[in-house]
Chain A
């Protein structure tokens, strides 16, 4: 699956490119602007990403397909490039072919990694990097970009080269296809003017050698207007966001707080990066959890009074859920997390929302979606109370339904197992069900009336009207229908008695919610 799933995003992107490029002329002939074509492309890609059928599409875009870095070169660019290369340096000369310069108050150059070039790559000081997705990063000191294998979640060991530590930098939408490891150096302080003299590489304080410290946000904040003052090197450069290790959390706020305190610039992580709102997290006071040490300022607004009792359990649950790693990516985990949230106290839900926002958890689009859903839960929490004295199965179903009906955006998150569990638990929920949804009430009434009228006419086994007449009805919206299909061409289909053999080729498959492709497939089945 690893090999296939790494091919699929690339393949899809190449197909998208083909189609878009070949349509460009046609669009122009029709008198349409480029913008329309770009819109189409954006829509197309976003839908694919939304479907989650392809892992790491966005990451692929950023790293491989369009590995275009826009360099903003300081006027004295040449001087900064004379850094000795650890492995690969990006001198101006090497990228002549794709090196275009514009003058926009600084030189703007684009380059793509030349074909022969592989990671690690060292980017000298004073350059601004822009990924294809539009995120801007300014590098103030030499940066080494390395590439770690897919799924590499923990920090590769720090290997200071010439005093430049390496920290893993993960694109927020990565489903862990690849991650570029960026040496932060004093990258975070890259507020220096491009016009200033070359920033001599200042070795950062010894990097935190925890293996858990996986950088989630970009270490290089977005480009700041040129009139920013240079920042002092700070030891708190280190990965401000920690992924799975809650204990690391305290360091984040302190880093952020110090950072924002000392510098005139506000740290604004690119929008696509994980859910760590730049400004708000820095305001709150201390926060203590029983289960987990949070001594330093927690970048959240937590109302401790009502929710402290709930938080530990919530925290632990969230921790276990969120630390499922790749499992968290799956729909199921998201559902679990949501379920847990729903079951918690109302006050805790609100806190959970903010807390989650601060958590340096796996920063993917899923995470963002999850948070948005928590926000919805927050709104719905006024309607739903599933614990406490009101805790009973029938009410549970009713309230879920009420929630589902009451909120258009609230996606029904009933997995099959949960549905069965509810139905099992719920023995007699007539009152609950019928009172919660007008539709189901109507259905029940109509069904009840028709049965005695039509029952005499039924010639069949009488189980057809009964088949769909159930006391337990749940009306909701489905998030995703996971069915599997395989679209391909056949070379040969062979049958012998009831044994079938399939020789297929050039196929696209979707199963388990994920996409696969193959050039040849051989199968057999018994009928």
Chain B
């Protein structure tokens, strides 16, 4: 199981919204939507690891930092993002970074949360049709296990 980190990107959000729409019109089931998201996680992790080859530098001032559950969250101000070609300045940027190393650790442990998650599916579907609930639930479970 790959990081679900990338679900809150343009790509991920648009996918979730589209899936939500399909659920609302009852064209797909929430479980199926979840499968799609899991597949998306895998695909984007793979793509980023293999298909992207560029480097960015940035510099700014650190406003806040947080390290919780092996996830770093920073808020930087007045940042300059510099790539080979050019420069972009941003007033404020939030950085969320998961651990890039011990993937195996996360991987093995994450199996349990997902099985738990699936068991509760039947309960879930009675009360929720929105996919975002699933997202929250799975994140919660994984935190518990870790």
Q: Mark B13-51, 1 if CB is under 8 A from A, else 0.
A: 111011101100001110010011001100111111101
Contacts A506-B49, A517-B48, A524-B59; A485 near B94 (Cβ below 8 A): yes
**B44 CB to nearest chain A CB (Å):** 5
**CB of A95 within 8 Å of the partner chain:** no
CB nearest to B51 among chain A residues: A11
Query: Among the listed B17, B36, B43, B58, which residue makes an inter-chain contact with A15, where contact means beta carbons less than 8 Å apart?
Result: B43
Q: Within 8 Å CB of B6, what residues of A?
A: 487, 508
For the complex of A and B, 4 pairs with smallest distance between CB atoms? A489-B100, A47-B14, A43-B18, A490-B97
- Do residues A511 and B43 form an inter-chain contact, with CB atoms below 8 A? no
Q: Which of B10, B27, B47, B72 contacts A493 (CB 8 A)?
A: B72
Q: Judge whether A22 is part of the interface by a CB distance below 8 angstroms.
A: yes
* Residues from 463 to 491 in A contacting B, C-beta threshold 8 Å: 483-491
Binding site for B on A (CB under 8 A): 1-4, 7, 11-12, 14-16, 18-19, 22-23, 26-27, 30, 32, 36, 39-40, 43-44, 47-48, 51, 53-54, 483-491, 493, 498, 500, 502, 504-512, 515-527
Q: A36-B22, A512-B90 are in contact. Are A15 and B14 (CB under 8 A)?
A: no
B144 at the interface (CB under 8 A from A): no
Q: Across the interface, which residues of A come within 8 angstroms of B43, CB to CB?
A: 15, 18-19, 22
A293→B129 CA distance, assembly (Å): 59
Instruction: Report if B121 contacts A (CB, 8 A).
Output: no
User: Can you give 9 A-B contacts (C-beta < 8 A)?
Assistant: A3-B54, A7-B54, A15-B43, A487-B95, A489-B3, A509-B56, A517-B54, A519-B53, A521-B56
**B86: nearest residue on chain A (CB-CB)?**
A1
B57 touches A508 (CB 8 A): no
Q: How far is the CA of A526 from the CA of B67 in the complex (A)?
A: 17
Asked if B104 lies at the interface with its beta carbon under 8 angstroms from chain A, I say: no
Give the residue of A19, A39, A523 whose beta carbon is less than 8 angstroms from that of B40.
Answer: A19
- Min distance, Cβ B93 to any Cβ of chain A, angstroms: 4
Say whether A518 contacts B56, CB under 8 Å: yes
- B11 to chain A: closest residue by CB: A12
Residues in chain B near residue A524, CB distance under 8 A? 59
Q: Judge whether B97 and A44 touch: CB under 8 Å.
A: no
Q: Which residues on A sit within 8 Å (CB–CB) of B27?
A: 32, 36, 39
Task: Report chain A residues within 8 Å CB of B65.
Answer: 500, 527
- Inter-chain contact B10/A48, CB cutoff 8 Å: yes
Taking the closest CB of chain A, its distance from the CB of B99, in whole angstroms, is: 6
Give the number of A-B contacts (CB < 8 Å): 214
Given the known interface contacts A47-B18, A508-B6, A510-B10, the answer about A525 and B36 at a Cβ–Cβ threshold of 8 Å is no
Assembly CA distance A517 to B6 (angstroms):
12
Contacts of B90 in A (CB 8 A): 484, 511-512
Report which of A11, A505, A509 forms a contact with B47, defined as CB distance below 8 A.
A11
Docked Cα-Cα span, A483 to B54, in Å, equals: 23
Residue of B nearest to A45 (CB): B14
Q: Which residues of A contact B98 (CB under 8 A)?
A: 488-490
Q: How far is the CB of A87 from chain B (nearest CB, A)?
A: 30
Kindly state the separation between the CA atoms of A182 and B63 in the bound complex, as whole angstroms.
52
A508:B48 contact, CB within 8 angstroms: yes
With a cutoff of 8 Å between Cβ atoms, the chain B residues found around residue A48 in the complex are 10-11, 14
Chain A neighbourhood of B11, CB < 8 A: 12, 15-16, 48, 508, 515
Residue of B with least CB distance to A505: B100
Residues in B whose Cβ lies below 8 Å from that of A520: 54-56
- Please pick, from B19, B57, B59, B86, the residue contacting A40 in the complex, using a CB distance under 8 A: B19
Is B81 part of the contact surface with A, judged by Cβ < 8 Å? yes
Q: Determine which of B40, B47, B96, B99 lies in contact with A487 in the assembled complex, contact meaning CB atoms within 8 Å.
A: B96
B122 at the interface (CB under 8 A from A): no
Cβ contacts under 8 Å, A11 to chain B: 47, 51-52
- Smallest Cβ-Cβ distance to B37: which chain A residue: A19
Known: A22-B39, A486-B94, A511-B88. 7 other contacts (CB 8 A): A11-B47, A36-B22, A36-B28, A51-B14, A502-B97, A504-B95, A517-B54
A120 to chain B, nearest CB (A): 27
Say yes or no: B83 contacts A3, CB within 8 Å. Answer: yes
In the assembly, what is the distance between CA of A102 and CA of B40, in Å? 35
* B47 lies within 8 A of A14 (CB): yes
What's the least CB distance linking A194 to chain B, in Å? 38
Asked if A27 and B32 sit within 8 Å, CB to CB, the answer is yes
Contact yes or no, A53 B72, CB < 8 A: no
Whether B55 contacts A484 by the Cβ 8 Å rule is no
Q: Contact at B95–A40, with CB atoms within 8 Å?
A: no
**CB–CB A19/B39 < 8 A:** yes
